Amino acid sequence: MLNNDIRVSEKKLPIAVYFLCTLFIVFFSVHAIQNWQPHLAQSAIILACILPAFIVLAYNWSSLIKNKTWPVEFKIVLVLTILGMLNICFSENQLASLKGMSLYLMSGILVFSISYSLFDNKQTQMRFFYLCSFCFIILLGFGTYEFIQQIYASGKRILLFSGNPIPAGSLLILLSIGPLVLLGKSKSNWQRIFWVFCILSGAFLITLIAQRGPALAMVIMAFFLAATKRKGIWIFTLVALVLVTTGYQLADKVPPQLKNELLRKETLLVRMELYHIALDVIKEKPIFGLGFNSSLSRFIPDDYQSKIYPTDQTYSFQSMVAGVHVFDNMALSFLGEMGGLFTMAYLGLGVYLLINVVTVLRKPTLLDNMQVILTLVVLAGFTAHSMTFDSLKYPHLNWIFHSLLGLIARHKVTDQKIKTNAT
């Protein structure tokens, strides 16, 4: 235990820098990209991503040199970095891919390496959960302010520093890991009441955002969480039926703006049509892809005949996707824009991490399994949402998601260290 405390104290500077950069990315990165001068925004985001990596590397340089073998996670990160660079080289728009892929690698893959290096003890992991909870509470307050603005001014929306309501809901989903874990670890009634209030407030705010993707993520999270409890699926089914029935009965009383957003079918049909376009891209560019952030316009000519999107709509499919650079689906973005090799390597990382976590959960362990399960629940919800949204192209979502992957990657190693110290 003493050795563990010494290890934490030695990493105070890297942890502090990583946490400060996390705050900047969560609250200011999207605003910087959209409103700052391009060079200033790029410099600030690059610094926020690179600075923690340099400090972590400086603190771990000697151990990296001494170790003859690197962890499998670092080897996969190296492969992904190389494949990302090749994607830029073979892109149809190298400048756009350079900007997009560099941001993705820095705010995602690099952050995974940083969090993997830092989250090697329970104290740092708990500090990360408190950080997520702090951000979550700030977003609740700001979201309430934006909702009040909606009432008094038309055209206002709940954006939560994200520039778009969809990633705003996604951000709440990811950061909910903090309140969820702290609720599970609460020892007094007032703490439980506080965290339950925060979680319910977050769910209500996601409902007010009125986007189907984040709502789907909440349902998936509730389902997986129920599946971990005895008779949980039956309770989940009963609650779902009650909510659906209540919603049907009160459908006429739902505010028109909220109702229109939730029932819009045009965007759903556009996303379904993009599956066909993605197949064309994958057939032509199966290895390295079209290029990250490259335009899809070449695959949507003026005479394109939509297969799913109705031709009798007010707006044609071509006008709906004019100038589009995204598939609105991370699976399609990986396969179509990043290519088959990158996708297989990334999936390999996910499968490897999942196998390690399942191994920890199935064996007697000194780790808190509740923490592991809740992390998986949040990741499952966000992953399901990402099948309807290009989530990881937003730096703040990419950062938190890969931080959670780093946390998952550390569970097996942390458990082994705890067992070693205990003996």
Q: pLDDT class for 250, splitting at 50, 70, 90?
A: very low
Q: Compute the average pLDDT of residues 97-112.
A: 93
What is the pTM for the complete model shown?
A: 0.87
At 412 the pLDDT is: 63
Domain assignment present for 83: yes
Q: Render 125-190 in DSSP notation, one character per residue.
A: HHHHHHHHHHHHHHHHHHHHHHHHHHHHSTT----TTSSSHHHHHHHHHHHTHHHHHHHHH--SHH
At 300 the pLDDT is: 78
Q: Compute the average pLDDT of residues 301-315.
A: 70
Whether residue 418 is predicted with pLDDT greater than 60 in this model: the reply is no
Question: Which residues lie below 8 Å from residue 299, measured CB to CB, with a gap of 6+?
Answer: 277, 280, 281
At 422 the pLDDT is: 47
Q: Compute the average pLDDT of residues 223-231.
A: 74
At 1 the pLDDT is: 44
Q: pLDDT class for 274, splitting at 50, 70, 90?
A: confident
Report which of residues 148 and 236 the model is more confident about: 148
Domain assignment present for 291: yes
Domain assignment present for 220: no
- Count of domains for the chain: 2
Last residue of a domain, one of 320, 347, 363: 320
Domain assignment present for 332: no
Q: Compute the average pLDDT of residues 194-218.
A: 86
Q: Are residues 90 and 191 in the same domain?
A: yes
Q: Compute the average pLDDT of residues 52-68.
A: 77
Q: Are residues 184 and 107 in the same domain?
A: yes
Domain assignment present for 390: yes
Whether residue 10 is predicted with pLDDT greater than 60 in this model: the reply is no
* Distance separating alpha carbons of residues 139 and 157, to the nearest angstrom: 14
Q: pLDDT class for 246, splitting at 50, 70, 90?
A: low
Q: Which domain holds residue 284?
A: 266-320
Q: Are residues 302 and 194 in the same domain?
A: no
- Residue 155 C-alpha from the chain's centroid: 27
Q: Are residues 300 and 405 in the same domain?
A: no
Domain assignment present for 225: no
Q: Are residues 113 and 201 in the same domain?
A: yes
Q: How far, in Å, are 205, 262, 273, 308, 389 from residue 267 at the CA level?
A: 22, 11, 10, 12, 11
* Distance separating alpha carbons of residues 170 and 328, to the nearest angstrom: 14
Percent of the chain scoring above 70 in pLDDT:
78
* Distance separating alpha carbons of residues 330 and 337, to the nearest angstrom: 10
Q: pLDDT class for 368, splitting at 50, 70, 90?
A: low
Whether residue 251 is predicted with pLDDT greater than 70 in this model: the reply is no
Q: Are residues 357 and 416 in the same domain?
A: yes
At 3 the pLDDT is: 46
Q: Are residues 343 and 309 in the same domain?
A: no
Q: Are residues 117 and 46 in the same domain?
A: yes
Report which of residues 226 and 281 the model is more confident about: 281
- Amino acid type, 178: G
- Residue 52 C-alpha from the chain's centroid: 20
Q: Are residues 399 and 272 in the same domain?
A: no
Q: Compute the average pLDDT of residues 57-80.
A: 80
pLDDT tens digits along 390-408:
889 999 999 999 999 999 9
Mean of all residue pLDDT scores within the chain: 81
At 249 the pLDDT is: 46
Domain assignment present for 409: yes
Whether residue 230 is predicted with pLDDT greater than 50 in this model: the reply is yes
Q: Are residues 287 and 344 in the same domain?
A: no
Report which of residues 124 and 265 the model is more confident about: 124
Domain assignment present for 168: no
At 163 the pLDDT is: 84
At 108 the pLDDT is: 93
Percent of the chain scoring above 90 in pLDDT:
34
Q: Are residues 20 and 113 in the same domain?
A: yes
Report which of residues 345 and 387 the model is more confident about: 345
Q: Are residues 59 and 126 in the same domain?
A: yes
Q: Compute the average pLDDT of residues 39-52.
A: 92
Sign of torsion over alpha carbons 414, 415, 416, 421: positive
